[in-house]
Amino acid sequence: MILVTGGAGFIGANFVLDWLGQSDEAVLNVDKLTYAGNLGTLQSLQGNSKHVFARVDICDRAALDALFAEHKPRAVLHFAAESHVDRSIHGPADFVQTNVVGTFTLLEAARQYWNGLPETEKAAFRFLHVSTDEVFGSLSATDPQFSETTPYAPNSPYSATKAGSDHLVRAYHHTYGLPTLTTNCSNNYGPYHFPEKLIPMMITCALAGKPLPVYGDGLNVRDWLYVGDHCAAIREVLARGKPGETYNVGGWNEKTNLDVVHTLCDLLDELSPRQSGSYSEQITFVKDRPGHDRRYAIDARKLERELGWKPAETFETGLRKTVQWYLDNQDWVQNVMTGEYRNWLVKQYAA
C-alpha cells in the first residue's frame, strides 16, 4: 500500500479519490483532521477496504512508527501541512510545528522503516514530498517563470516553513540516501477546496450575496493548476521520477486575481444567475495582505520533457467544472462552515 499524509485535505483527498478510482493498491490515509481536514470529502470510500484512515498527527513519532510497522507502505506521499498564507500571518507557530517539525518527524520515521527493508524493497521505496512554488518568492511582471533551479526566497511564514521542509527532504536524500522526490506546484483549484482560499471563497461569497473581497489592487498574478492535473502529475513522478530530483508542476495559466474573479462572476452569471444584475457588482477591494507576493509563475517543462506530463485542463474548462461542482455540492460547503471557520472569517475580513 501507499501511505498518504493529509489525505482529508483538499489536494490529498482528491489524490486519494483519484488513486482508488484507478488502482487496486490500498491507501493508508494519515491525517490529524485540523480545521482543513474533512472526512465528508471521503464519504464515497466508506466501507472500501482499500482505504484505511488513521487520525494521527505527523509530529507523533511513536504513532508513525506503529503505522509503518503495521502497514509496511512501499511509498509515502506527504501532503499534510498548514497551507493558508493568511493564517500563517496571524499565527505562524502551527506552521513551524506541522510543516517543519512534522516533516522532520515523518522523515525520521520513514528513514528508520526504510533502513530495515530488504534491499529490493529499499531500492523501490519512495518518499514524495508535495511542496509549493511559493518557496521561490515573488516575480516581477517581466521575470522568467520559476524553474527547478530558481533560488529559494520565501516571503511568508507559510512559504518559509515549506522551504524548510523542502530542505530537510533534500538533506535526507543527500545524507542518508532516502529515495525522495519533491514537487513544487502552483495554486491548485477544483472540487473540495476549503472556502478560505480565493476561488472557493469567491464562489461561496457570490452565492451568499456577500462582498467578494479582492486584496489590494487585484493585480497579483498566480498560475492556476486544476487539482486533477496535479494528482496525475504526482502519480507520474511517483512512478518514474528520479530519486533526489525536484519537479515543478504548473498549469500554464497566469492570471491576475481580478481576472480570476471576473471569470468566476461570468460563469456564475451563466450557470446560476442573480435575480438582477451581475455577480461582479459584489466585487469589493479590501486591505492588502502584508508582504503579498506579486507574481508566481511555473515553468513546468522539465516534467513534460522527462516524464511526459502536461495539464489536460485549460483554465476555462477547469474553472467551469469547478463552479459547476460547487453549485451541485452546496451541502458539502455548508458542512465545512463550522464555528471555527466562521470565527476565522470574522478575524480576517472584519475590517
Other beta carbons within 10 angstroms of residue 258's beta carbon come to 15
Binding status of residue 155 toward ligand TYD by CB under 6 A: no
Partner interacting with residue 226 (select from ligand NAD, ligand TYD, none; CB below 5-8 Å by kind): none
CB-based contact 30:54 (threshold 8 Å): yes
Partner interacting with residue 188 (select from ligand TYD, ligand NAD, none; CB below 5-8 Å by kind): ligand NAD
Binding status of residue 11 toward ligand TYD by CB under 6 A: no
Residue choice 2, 59, 232, 261 for contact with ligand NAD (CB under 6 A)? 59
31, 82, 133, 313: the catalytic one is: 133
Binding status of residue 81 toward ligand NAD by CB under 6 A: yes
CB of 258 to ligand TYD, least distance (A): 9
Strand, coil or helix: what is 322? Answer: helix
Binding status of residue 96 toward ligand NAD by CB under 6 A: no
**Segment 46-105, which members bind ligand TYD (CB under 6 A)?**
85
C-alpha cell at 271: 450557470
Type of residue found at 131:
S
Binding status of residue 4 toward ligand NAD by CB under 6 A: no
Report the alpha-carbon distance of residue 140 to residue 130 in Å, rounded: 25
Other beta carbons within 10 angstroms of residue 316's beta carbon come to 11
The strand order across the sheet containing 221-226 reads 187-189, 221-226, 254-256
**Segment 252-311, which members bind ligand NAD (CB under 6 A)?**
none
CB-based contact 26:1 (threshold 8 Å): yes
C-alpha cell at 86: 493568511
Binding status of residue 222 toward ligand TYD by CB under 6 A: yes
Q: What is the dihedral of CA 156, 245, 103, 158, to 10 degrees?
A: 10
Binding status of residue 195 toward ligand TYD by CB under 6 A: no
Report the alpha-carbon distance of residue 53 to residue 146 in Å, rounded: 36
For residues 187 to 206, the per-residue mask of contacts with ligand NAD, x marking binding by CB under 6 A and - elsewhere, is xx-----x------------
Cell numbers 526566497 correspond to 153
Binding status of residue 184 toward ligand TYD by CB under 6 A: no
Type of residue found at 230:
H
Q: Which is nearer to ligand NAD, 57 or 229 (CB)?
A: 57
CB of 319 to ligand NAD, least distance (A): 14
Whether 133 sits among the annotated catalytic residues: the reply is yes
Binding status of residue 215 toward ligand TYD by CB under 6 A: yes
CB-based contact 191:13 (threshold 8 Å): no
31, 82, 134, 166: the catalytic one is: 134
Strand, coil or helix: what is 224? Answer: strand
Nearest partner of 310 among 302, 319, 321, 318, judged by Cα = 302
Q: Site residues (CB under 6 A) for ligand NAD?
A: 5-6, 8-12, 31-34, 36-37, 57-59, 79-83, 98, 102, 130, 132, 162, 185, 187-188, 194
Q: Site residues (CB under 6 A) for ligand TYD?
A: 85, 187, 197-198, 201, 213-215, 220, 222, 257, 289
Active-site residue set = 133-134, 158
